[in-house]
Amino acid sequence: MLSAVRALEQLLLPAECLVCHGLLAVAHADDLVCPVCRLRWRAVRPPWCERCGQPEPHFGPCRLCREWPEALRSVRSGVWLDGGARSAVHALKYGGLPRIARDMASALSRIIARPPSGARLVPIPLGSARLKRRGYNQSEVLARAIGGCWELAVLPQLLVRTRDTPTQTALTPAARLANVAGAFQLRIGECGLGIGRHPGSRSAIPNPQSPIVLVDDVFTTGATIAEAARALGAAGFTSITAVTFGRASIPDFT
Ligand SMILES: [Zn+2]
Ligand SMILES: [Zn+2]
């Protein structure tokens, strides 16, 4: 019955792909991006720096991740941020279409290897002003969708952003680092106790041995992820990785 209603709805209000505006088949009516456009999302593939997932430099060690905190083991991205992938991120962030996170998560979860069971997904938090304006944190919506695909728990409350940082667009890599310095900390538990000091706390602070997977929509220089990992590392977490849906090709700032 439900499918008959859906088919009728599809007939009256045919859904179209957000990227190419082609009509979506009934089987894909719940998606926002059609299968053809999804296939055009260009997966990020090796050879890459084993740690940051950036294509290997032609010579010498990778400069992108050399300043990262030790606890941050590796970062992987699903697709290159061009064409339709950029439209998807735009829809998620500015288009008021958090539902698109499902399309993005299903693509990402097929490209990136699933983290071990027991890993917790931790979205990069937004500052309070931006959260209020947008109404949702796009990284949290994405993390929840990825958690559904990989069957991993999401801890949206573990990290807080202590201040609203200006948008990173148009900043050089060095300016990006300075921009996010000290921007994250662990949320203090319900009884005012920090991590590891209150095992009975009902607040969802995991054991520092648990693998943590940070989730963000886009990776540009990694400054934000590195800073979030620094806050987790300072709290005793030793196994931190990160996944992002998109990876921007880094502009040449020199
Ligand atoms: Zn399409
Ligand atoms: Zn690297």
Annotate 126-148 with DSSP letters as a single string: PPHHHHHHHSS-HHHHHHHHHHH
What is the rounded CA–CA span in Å between residue 8 and residue 224? 45
Dihedral (CA of 146, 150, 151, 155) sign: negative
Residue found under tokens 């304006």: 133
What is the rounded CA–CA span in Å between residue 196 and residue 97? 38
Distance 32 CA to ligand 1 centre (A): 8
Q: Could you say which DSSP state residue 115 is in? A: P
What is the rounded CA–CA span in Å between residue 126 and residue 112? 24
Ligand nearest to the CA of 84: 1
pLDDT of residue 60 exceeding 90, the answer is no
pLDDT of residue 189: 55
Ligand nearest to the CA of 47: 2
Which long-range CB contacts under 8 A does 94-100 form with residues at least 24 apart?
Answer: 96/135, 97/18, 97/32, 98/136, 98/138, 98/141, 99/32, 100/18, 100/32, 100/33
Helix or strand (DSSP H, E) at 248: none
Per-residue pLDDT band for 250 (boundaries 50, 70, 90) equals low
Quick one: the chain helix, strand, coil %, rounded to 5?
35, 15, 50
pLDDT of residue 191: 37
Distance 28 CA to ligand 2 centre (A): 38
Distance 218 CA to ligand 1 centre (A): 21
Average pLDDT over residues 115-130: 95
| 3 state SS of 237 | coil
Across the chain, mean pLDDT equals: 86
What is the rounded CA–CA span in Å between residue 44 and residue 190? 40
Ligand nearest to the CA of 64: 2
3-state secondary structure 158-195: CEEECCCCCCCCCCCHHHHHHHHCCCEEECCCCCCCCC
- Of 15-24, 41-50, 217-226, least confident by mean pLDDT is 15-24
pTM (global) more than 0.85: yes
pLDDT of residue 220 exceeding 60, the answer is yes
- Of 98-107, 120-129, 137-146, 201-210, least confident by mean pLDDT is 201-210
Distance 38 CA to ligand 1 centre (A): 7
Among 129, 119, 102, 132, residue whose Cα is nearest residue 245: 102
Average pLDDT over residues 201-215: 79
pLDDT of residue 178 exceeding 50, the answer is yes
Contact 233, 192 (CB under 8 A): no
Ligand nearest to the CA of 74: 2
